[in-house]
Chain A
Amino acid sequence: MPLAARRLLRSRWVEPAGVAVVVGLVLAGSIAEAYPAHHYAGLHLRHHPFPALFAVLVVPAALLWWRRSYPVAVYLATVAGAAWWRRRVRSTAPRW
């Protein structure tokens, strides 16, 4: 691995940047999922999730900061957030 790449990986900004990227992906992806631009095969959301519910995804994503100290607890939190989110979004969609 080149020296510059190794220095970059050891930088103190790598950890917060990684967590920020994941949080951004989760937030942007879930919003895009909740407000799709196109609908296929008759799948339509009957209504959009309440905006505050996105925090249910963002909070466990932010908890990834502590994934090395508490790997099991952080993993369980993310599973709970994902399960809750899926169940919530599922209730907004009609039967296919």
Chain B
Amino acid sequence: MAASGEVYGAALVMVLVALYALAVSGQRWPVVAGLGAGGTLVIWLAGGLGGPWGWWGGPQLDMWAEMVAAGAVGGYVSARHRWAHSEQLRREQLERARAEEIRQQVTAERLRIARELHDVVAHSMAMINVQATAASTLVGTDPAGVTDSLQAIRSASKDGLRELRSILDVLRQVDEPQLAVPLPDGHGLQALAEAARAAGVRLGFHCDADLQAAAPGTALAVHRIVQESLTNVVRHASGATAEVSVTGGRGRILVDVVDDGGSGGAPFVEGTGSGLAGMAERARAIGGRLEAGPRPGGGWRVHADLPAAPARHDADPATPATLLGS
């Protein structure tokens, strides 16, 4: 432009740069368009009217197209930046949500493992402790009773070890969807009842529910709830009379474990309450509910109402249905 003698070109360079920067700065497009048109008009009037080319401005008419181009390119770049920024925010939000989901899954898995270990270890150790206490009191007076208690300790420790091995086997089978671990049935409940009787509980047992036809998660929950309830009877109600009832029908399985509180004192006085919380979590996890509390006439009652068929969220592979030790 300078070589051709046009005396108005160079001054527009900085205006074009400034207008581009104005558009990139994220101003609303009406503001950019208004300022761009106003500035162009001012410059055009300053150089056009009364200038060497008359009112129409001559070569400086190019200025309008150049200003529009500068504003449009700046607007495009600004929109592109905003889009990239929103995409970045969306990606970060997705990553945070995913990290939170993984964290919740890890927490749920940890709680599930803790629940399984608690139920298995607490049950076995309670049985062993009670039998060991009985054996120590019978030494020298009832050799046959001592032998029975030692046999019960052997049986309880053997069962506990087997369940622990089963849990460890399941934990190692991280990539296998089908687990070769037996699911609980009526025989498993019967074995729990026998172990409680051997520990001195006068126990009545009734089971007419078909656990093998129930959902795996429900069968496991029934087993663990009965196991934990009987463990609590042994630990906190020595010499108690208790009743276990597992009934099925209309798509539900009802579990009731009641005791009269016993009369021989409690071999264990300490407790964290995690067993009751674990039972309630198990019931909730498969869409059921659990109530536990003292009975009006003394003793304790545990009542669980569980769905026989799998609940919608029971399909989660992380549910306790995959873990069992009996």
Interface residues of A (CB under 8 A from B): 22, 25-26, 28-30, 32-34, 36-40, 43, 45, 57, 60-61, 64, 67-68, 71-72, 74-79, 81-87, 89-90, 93-96
Contacts and interface: CB of A to CB of B under 8 A. Distances in A.
Interface string B53-68: 1100010100000000
Contacts of A81: 11, 14
Interface residues of B, number: 36
Contacts of A40: 4-5
B8 A89 contact: yes
A59 to B, nearest CB: 10
B215 interface: no
A79 B4 contact: no
Contacts of B1: 29, 33
Interface centre among B8, B15, B27, B53 (most CB of A within 10 A): B15
B244 to A, nearest CB: 72
Interface of B: 1-15, 17-19, 21-22, 25, 27, 35, 39, 42-43, 45-47, 50-54, 58, 60
Interface centre among A28, A71, A83 (most CB of B within 10 A): A71
A74 B3 contact: no
A68 B221 CA distance: 65
Contact of B7 (A22, A76, A93): A93
Given A84-B46, A94-B52, A36 B14 contact: no
